[in-house]
A and B are shown apart, each in its own frame.
Chain A
Amino acid sequence: MLSTALKILAPAPNGMALRHFSLLIRRHHELVWEMTRREILDRYTGQVLGALWAIGLPLLSMGVYVFAFLVLFQGRLPGATTSIGYAVFMLAGLAPWMAVQEALGRGPTAVSGNAGLVKQIVFPNEVLPLRVAFGVLPTLGIGIVVVGMLALIAGLGGWLTVPLLVIVIACHLVMTVGLVYLLAAIGVFVRDVRDVVTVLLSVGMFLQPIFYAPGVAPRTLEAIFYLSPVSYLIWCYRDALVYGEITRPLAWVAAPIISMLLFLVGYRLYRNLQPAFGNAL
Chain B
Amino acid sequence: MSGIAISVRSLGKSYRLYAHPRDMVLEMLSGRQRHREFAALQDVSFEVGHGSVVGLMGRNGAGKSTLLRIIAGTLDATAGAVTSSGRIAAILELGTGFHPDYSGRDNVYLGGLCLGLKRKEIDAQVAEVIEFSELEEFIDQPFRTYSSGMQARLAFSVATCVNPDILISDEALSVGDARFQLKSFDRMREFKRRGKSILVVSHSINQLVSICDRAILLDRGRLLMDGDPNAVGNAYHELLFGRRGASAAEASADTSTVLDREHRYGDGVAKITDFHLIDAEKRTVTRLRSLDTYTAVIKIRATQQTEALCAGILVRNGRGQDIFGTDTIACQDLRIAPLAPGEEVIVYMQFRANMAPGNYFLTATVARTDGTKHDVRFDSLMIEVEPVAALYTDTVVNLEPKFRIEQRTGEPQATMALVE
What are the 6 tightest A-B residue pairs by CB atom distance, in nearest-first order?
A278-B75, A275-B76, A123-B114, A121-B97, A116-B96, A31-B113
What count of chain A residues pass the 8 Å CB interface test?
A: 24
Is B410 an interface residue, CB under 8 A from the partner? no
Q: Are A121 and B74 in contact (CB under 8 A)?
A: yes
Q: Mark B79-122, 1 if CB is under 8 A from A, else 0.
A: 00000000011101100110001100000011101111011000
How far does the Cβ of A88 sit from chain B's closest Cβ, in whole Å? 40
B288 at the interface (CB under 8 A from A): no
Find out whether the CB atom of B109 lies under 8 angstroms from the CB atom of A122.
no
B interface residue count range (under 10 / 10 to 19 / 20 to 34 / 35 or more): 20 to 34
Contact with A along B16-38 (1 / 0, CB 8 A): 10000100110000000000000
Q: Is the CB of B76 within 8 A of A276?
A: yes
Chain A residue numbers with a CB within 8 Å of B93 are 116, 119-120
- State the Cβ distance, A255 to closest chain B Cβ, in Å: 32
Give Cα A279–Cα B89 distance, bound, in whole angstroms: 21
Q: Which residues of A (31-73) have their CB < 8 Å from a CB of B?
A: 31, 34-35, 38, 42, 45
Is there an interface contact between A279 and B110, defined as CB atoms closer than 8 Å?
no
Q: Which chain A residues lie closer than 8 Å to B110 at the CB level? A: 34-35, 38
Query: B residues bordering A, Cβ < 8 Å?
Result: 15-16, 21, 24-25, 69, 72-76, 88-90, 92-93, 96-97, 101-102, 109-111, 113-116, 118-119
Q: Can you report 5 A-B residue pairs in the complex whose CB atoms are below 8 A from each other? A: A117-B114, A119-B92, A189-B24, A276-B76, A279-B15
Q: How far is the CA of A30 from the CA of B122 in the complex (A)?
A: 12
* Closest chain A CB from B246 CB (angstroms): 30
Bound-state Cα–Cα, A123 to B88, Å:
10
Interface string of A190-215 (1 = CB under 8 A from B): 11000000000000000000000000
Determine the residue in chain B with the shortest Cβ distance to A276: B76
* A27 on interface, CB distance cutoff 8 Å: yes
- A118 located at the interface, meaning its Cβ lies under 8 Å from any Cβ of chain B in the complex: yes
Complex Cα distance, B82 from A275, in Å, reads 14
Q: Name the residue on A nearest B15 (C-beta).
A: A279
Given contacts A30-B113, A34-B110, A279-B15, contact A118 B101 (CB under 8 A): no
| CB <8 Å contact, B76 and A190 | no
B-chain residues with CB within 8 Å of residue A279 when the two chains form the complex:
15-16, 75-76
